Amino acid sequence: MSFGETHMDHVCGENLEHYDKERPHQGIENEFVNDPRRRSVTQPVESIPMCEIRSSARLGWLLKCDWRKSA
């Protein structure tokens, strides 16, 4: 297996697509609700059935993205 300019272009392109379109954007309104350090005692945790979760992967599962199935 060789790692040349074409391979580097592919890896960088996949990473750029993931970074721009798929990664979870962590802003003020998008916190990890399952993180006990950020959750108050009164805030409920929503459970999502596995059948409603979709995922995609790039670069042999090095970059993974999960999302909830649309209605």
Q: Would you say the pTM of this structure is higher than 0.85?
A: no
pLDDT digits (tens, 9 = 90+) for 9-66: 999 999 988 888 887 655 445 555 555 565 555 666 678 888 888 888 899 888 888 8
- Domain parsing of the chain, residue ranges: 5-68
Q: Which residues contact 55 (CB under 8 A, 6 or more apart)?
A: 64, 65, 66, 67
Beta carbons within 10 angstroms of residue 12's beta carbon: 10
Write the single-letter amino acid at 12: C
